[in-house]
Amino acid sequence: MCGRYLFSTQEYKEFRQIVRDAQRRSNGQHNELNFPMAGDIAPTTEAPVLIASGDKVVAEFQRWGIPGWRGGLMINARAETVCEKPMFRRSMAAQRCVIPASGYYEWDTGRHKYFFQLPGKPIYLAGIYDNIEGVNCFVVLTTAPNETVKDIHDRMPLILSHEQVRPWLTDAQSALQLLTIVPPALQRSSEDGQLRFGDLV
């Protein structure tokens, strides 16, 4: 689940600042020409994320997905067990990140595609990261679905409010408490023309 999301600097001034910040930290490896102003982010793509640097929140580019022990690519981790899994325990303790997004996509069992967002506001996906062969790679944490999502999928991203971003990144105890929050109600719209929900559901 949560295998694709939208990041658009055209919608949010804050996102443009995040990209600029990440570009400064990347020593010129990224610029406006090779990172789109708006587009879908898929696994293995490098995308801007927020991390803690001391007590500051900074942006950097990371790759989505961590190689699994048995092959394949891990793009999500369950919030309920992230502290227990050997693969993720260290990252949860000290390498948390936040993935800014304009919204995310999900597919139901009939392969109908839906877009979830907070109209007029960005969303912030809780994540963790690890350094794999010199590259920081992130996964998105997922949790039980709220009322908006549960008839589409049995999981959804752990979505933080703007005010919860800093505590998630800089305070380990607060981060543990945030693992159990219920994500906010979202606006859901069909991406295949079958159905549209114009209001929060």
Catalytic residues: 2, 106
C-alpha closest to that of 99 among 56, 145, 184, 42: 42
Identify the sign of the CA torsion 171, 136, 107, 72: negative
| Interatomic CA distance for residues 140 and 142, integer angstroms | 6
| Interatomic CA distance for residues 173 and 89, integer angstroms | 14
Question: For residue 42, how far is the Cα from the chain centroid?
Answer: 11
Is-contact 153 108, C-beta < 8 A?
yes
Around 7, how many Cα atoms within 13 Å sit in the side-chain half-sphere?
22
Residues 6+ apart with CB under 8 A from 40: 4, 5, 6, 105
